[in-house]
């Protein structure tokens, strides 16, 4: 039985959904996407998780197929600047700890290296690669991390291509122009058989039981379906406006509710391309710098209680410098939080219409990918959707978003920066989930580990919680006492080998710009 799926809203969320459903379910779904030519997409989703490679692997697309079309670049890490009272910077890399005698390098750092070398530089190779603007791949397309080379072999299919089956850490994510990616996937999805309607939705029809029956468009009339996907962004046209599903705001714990974005030029030939996103703490929030192939994406995420939109734009322009002159600012009001449920009756919200927790850790597109994969995992047979399917889907989605929420709270609450009213308020005026408050007490005594972080899947592993804690100067007072009973020499040798490997990679890998030029030339 063929299920008629109607997606309302285009952009990255809409066309990722359409492409994935057609690829996964083929002739079992009839996909129609309705998008307006008058509604702009929100361009804050230009940086991603490393798991996005799984999405393209599933579609059968290589990086050389889509990255040049979308001005794509690689992302090895997020560089945090001025997030603690010490100033300076640290990296949150896509890289797990190494293990020595049953304990990870983070634990050994507390005992051996805390007064010698910054945490990120001591425990990972990626920070050195970022500092030198290195590519994650050699010119023969070999990935720098030998441990995951099988997943990047162009001559073999990837061992898996969905998040639920993913057991390794890919060493990089991506940056790209989100509008160009939407256009690319629109062409890809329509070739797979998705039907595109460019029209305005005038009203949403419902059956007697409250299920959605159709959307009425201005030029094309009624578009009927069995399952409706809401990709209308912060508006939530189907899930909130029509079905009246409550939205749970996170402003009590995540105060940033506004953003202003600019797109200044960047001379890649003269300056190269950074292989990382930068998040720089400012007076009432933080500024992002996302390097694309042809320009930088810059923006300021802030709390409107402490800064007006005019003040925020002025501060952002001063932060960017002369390159911001002549650039038009795009002001965005963010809806931070999630729906009580993202699957209600026969409507599934994906993307910003489902939930959003500000772009600090580049989770927007991850939420889209996760929502799509779980939709396929829970896909109804024909027009029938059981209460159990919806309950299961909503539990998975809600747990994921709530976990990311707690991870983001850590960045602000654990930071010892308190030099402006905003940064003081992050310690004194914001509420905190009781279980996270308990964890923060634990992390004063020991490093975050897999047994004491947020337990449900949310995309972040224990090493990420540890990196942020150490980076914002929330450091355990002591190391594990058990390490005093072990011979420290293997750990010292491991740290030395890690530094040696970092320098070898810096000296042998091509620059980020050089590799991308090589890809484009082919």
Burial of 477 (0-12, 13-18, 19+ CB in 10 A): exposed
**Number of C-beta neighbours around residue 187 at 10 A:** 12
Alpha-carbon span 390 to 187, nearest angstrom:
31
Alpha-carbon span 503 to 459, nearest angstrom:
29
Catalytic residues: 75
Residue in 58, 148, 72, 163 with CA at minimum distance from that of residue 461: 163
Burial of 493 (0-12, 13-18, 19+ CB in 10 A): exposed
Q: What spatial distance separates the first Cα and last Cα of the chain, rounded to whole Å?
A: 43
Secondary structure of 61-111 in the HEC alphabet? Answer: CCHHHHCHHHCCEEECEEEEECCCCCCCEEEEECCCCCEECCEEHHHHHHH
Alpha-carbon span 366 to 248, nearest angstrom:
20
Contacts of 13 (CB under 8 A, 6+ apart): 231, 233, 350, 351, 352, 353, 368
Kindly state the tokens that stand for 263: 């797109």
DSSP 182-233: HHHHHHHHHHHT-EEEE--EEEEEE-TTS-EEEEEETTTEEEE-SEEEE--G
Contacts of 76 (CB under 8 A, 6+ apart): 93, 94, 126, 129, 130, 136, 171, 172, 275, 276
**Number of C-beta neighbours around residue 120 at 10 A:** 24
Kindly state the tokens that stand for 417: 């920066």
Contact 470, 82 (CB under 8 A): no
Phi then psi dihedrals of residue 349, to 5 deg: -90, 130
Coil/strand/helix, residue 320: helix
Alpha-carbon span 152 to 134, nearest angstrom:
18
**Number of C-beta neighbours around residue 146 at 10 A:** 8
Phi then psi dihedrals of residue 125, to 5 deg: -90, -25
Distances (CA, A) of 240 to 234, 245, 319: 10, 5, 37
CA gyration radius, the chain: 23
Residue in 128, 72, 40, 44 with CA at minimum distance from that of residue 361: 44
**Number of C-beta neighbours around residue 30 at 10 A:** 18
Coil/strand/helix, residue 47: strand
């Amino acid at each position: 039985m063929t299920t008629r799926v109607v997606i309302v809203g285009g952009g990255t969320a809409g066309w990722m959904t359409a492409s994935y459903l057609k690829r996964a379910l083929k002739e079992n779904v009839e996909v129609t996407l309705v998008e307006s030519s008058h509604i702009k997409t929100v361009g804050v989703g230009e940086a991603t998780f490393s798991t996005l490679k799984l999405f393209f692997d599933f579609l059968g697309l290589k990086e050389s197929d889509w990255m040049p079309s979308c001005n794509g670049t690689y992302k090895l890490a997020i560089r945090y600047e001025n997030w603690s009272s010490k100033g300076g910077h640290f990296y949150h890399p896509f890289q797990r700890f190494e293990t020595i005698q049953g304990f990870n390098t983070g634990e050994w750092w507390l005992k051996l290296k805390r007064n010698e070398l910054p945490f990120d530089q001591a425990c990972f190779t990626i920070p050195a690669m970022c500092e030198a603007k290195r590519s994650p791949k050699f010119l023969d397309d070999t990935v720098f991390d030998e441990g995951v080379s099988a997943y990047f072999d162009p001559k073999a299919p990837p061992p898996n291509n969905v998040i639920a089956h993913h057991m390794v850490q890919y060493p990089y994510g991506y940056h790209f122009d989100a509008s160009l990616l939407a256009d690319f996937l629109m062409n890809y999805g329509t070739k797979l058989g998705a039907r595109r309607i460019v029209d305005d939705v005038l009203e949403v029809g419902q059956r007697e039981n409250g299920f959605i029956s159709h959307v009425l468009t201005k030029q094309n009339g009624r578009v009927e379906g069995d399952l409706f996907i809401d990709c209308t962004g912060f508006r939530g046209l189907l899930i909130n406006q029509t079905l009246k599903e409550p939205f749970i705001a996170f402003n009590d714990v995540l105060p940033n509710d506004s953003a202003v974005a600019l797109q200044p030029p960047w001379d890649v030939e003269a300056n190269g391309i950074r292989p990382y996103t930068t998040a720089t703490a400012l007076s009432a929030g933080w500024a992002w710098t996302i390097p694309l192939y042809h320009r930088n994406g810059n923006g300021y995420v802030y709390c409107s209680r402490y800064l007006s939109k005019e003040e925020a734009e002025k501060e952002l322009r001063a932060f960017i410098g002369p390159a911001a002159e002549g650039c038009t600012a795009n002001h965005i009001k963010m809806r931070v939080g999630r729906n009580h449920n993202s699957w209600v009756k026969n409507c599934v919200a994906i993307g910003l219409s489902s939930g959003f927790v500000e772009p600090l850790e580049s989770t927007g597109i991850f939420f889209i990918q996760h929502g799509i994969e779980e939709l396929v995992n829970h896909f109804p047979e024909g027009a029938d959707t059981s209460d159990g399917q919806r309950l299961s889907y909503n539990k998975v989605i809600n747990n994921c978003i709530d976990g990311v929420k707690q991870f983001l709270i850590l960045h602000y609450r654990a930071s010892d920066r308190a030099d402006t009213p905003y940064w003081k308020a992050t310690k004194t005026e914001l509420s905190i989930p009781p279980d996270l408050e308990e964890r923060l007490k634990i992390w004063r005594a020991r490093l975050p580990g897999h047994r004491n972080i947020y337990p449900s899947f949310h995309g972040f592993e224990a090493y990420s919680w540890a990196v942020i804690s150490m980076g914002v100067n929330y450091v355990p007072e002591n190391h594990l006492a058990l390490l005093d009973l072990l011979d420290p020499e293997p750990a010292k040798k491991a740290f030395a080998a890690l530094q040696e490997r970092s320098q070898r990679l810096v000296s042998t890998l091509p620059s980020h710009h050089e590799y991308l030029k090589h890809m484009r030339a082919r």
